[in-house]
Copies of this chain bind each other. A is one copy, B any other.
């Protein structure tokens, strides 16, 4: 696949998912409870968007693999494999908050090479392809670049909730947060897009799945940032994630988290 082919198809896939997610946003959607205890909403929008993406990819590129949130993987070892979270931030989605996004990543031989984070309500497509990162919004296409913030004491950190860390990690997260200039909560995948766009400096989360992060790795890396696990290892499999605007901040954050 050429870079241009990937970019155009990513854009098309964003629209395919949005056709399922956006009409159901704030429309009294049917929430089923996926968890036996607690509250883990899975919406019909989630399932319908994943089905639509899988079908669209299978029709255009029948040899490609597909890994989604809702159903079993198909050919995950294929040369090209799509890794999709139809609605990252389902809880935000059911609360009417525009901080959820559709994540669509493309892996080649196990390495993330392209991806998109689409927020259909605001109309923002944060995209990575061909080594570049850019934001499509309406008719505009803007290059994305991360910040050059040199130390944590000048940095803004985000995480969806400070209470989502397991006890053995929570203390290290808290210590990191204290070293930063400010912390903001909420926003799920939107926070990673803000790192790529140069609006904030780092995102720290734990317990992610591959479909939560694969699309975001090329987005942040192509914009100049770095995404690893808390020990500096690859982030593509999910787990405990540290996304930073640059290598200096990453090294400083790792010295606390690792």
Contacts and interface: CB of A to CB of B under 8 A. Distances in A.
Interface of A: 26, 39, 91-92, 95-99, 121-122, 156, 158, 161-163, 181-182, 184-187, 190, 194, 197, 199-200
Copies in the complex: 2
Given A97-B184, A161-B185, A162-B163, 20 more contacts: A26-B197, A91-B182, A91-B184, A92-B184, A95-B156, A95-B184, A95-B200, A96-B194, A96-B197, A96-B199, A96-B200, A97-B187, A97-B194, A98-B122, A99-B99, A162-B162, A185-B185, A185-B186, A186-B186, A186-B187
A95 B96 CA distance: 20
Contacts of A91: 182, 184
Contact of A97 (B39, B95, B121, B190): B190
Given A26-B197, A121-B122, A182 B39 contact: yes
A190 B98 CA distance: 10
Contacts of A161: 185
Contacts of A158: 95
Nearest to A177: B163
Contacts of A98: 98, 122
Nearest to A199: B96
Contacts of A122: 98, 121-122
A184 B162 CA distance: 11
Contacts of A95: 156, 158, 184, 194, 199-200
Nearest to A92: B184
**Which of A92, A95, A99 has the most B CB atoms < 10 Å from its CB?**
A95
Given A26-B197, A187-B186, A197-B26, A39 B96 contact: no
A92 B162 CA distance: 17
Contact of A181 (B39, B92, B184): B39
A198 to B, nearest CB: 8
Contacts of A181: 39
